[in-house]
Amino acid sequence: MKLNPAIIRIKNLRLRTYIGINDDEITNMQDVVINIKIHYNADQATDSDKMDDALNYKVITKRIINLVENNRFSLLEKLTADVLAIAAEHAWVNYAEVEVDKPHALRFSDSVSLCLSCNKN
């Protein structure tokens, strides 16, 4: 049976970082919520049941946590692009998509979010 690419979804990764250009945003960490979608060919992993044949989402997530929590960002665009670069980095990845939400960024709104994606085919 020919399988379509596997889709890994990392949902609602809640982190804190410095994000924004206003004085209070520069001085205070804020919450961000990150959702990631990664497509890759998982045929080897489904056949072998071995971790070495699968894309390790724990390693990817740890790298994203380190990036977000240990850096400062003026723009949501830069933060999202940097997370996307990590999500898409592995050679097996065909497509990656990242959405970053900045809760309470606007009055009367739950959040503002930005979504970026890349197709490596």
- Of 101, 108, 51, nearest to 80 by C-alpha is 101
The pLDDT value recorded for residue 21 is: 92
Residues making up the chain, counted from first to last: 121
The pLDDT value recorded for residue 92 is: 95
- Of 42, 17, 35, nearest to 117 by C-alpha is 35
* Phi, psi at 27, each rounded to 5°: -90, -25
pLDDT tens, position by position, for the chain (121 residues)?
788 899 999 999 999 999 999 999 999 999 999 999 999 999 999 889 999 999 999 999 999 999 999 999 999 999 999 999 999 999 999 999 999 999 988 889 999 999 999 998 7
Domain coordinates in residue numbering, the chain? 6-119
CATH fold for domain 6-119? GTP Cyclohydrolase I, domain 2 (3.30.1130)
| Strands 72-73 and 93-103, sheet pairing | unpaired
Q: How far apart are CA 18 and CA 89, in angstroms?
A: 24
Helical residues (DSSP H) of the chain, grouped into ranges: 23-27, 43-48, 57-69, 76-88
Residues 6+ apart with CB under 8 A from 47: 53
State the pTM of this model: 0.94
The pLDDT value recorded for residue 33 is: 98
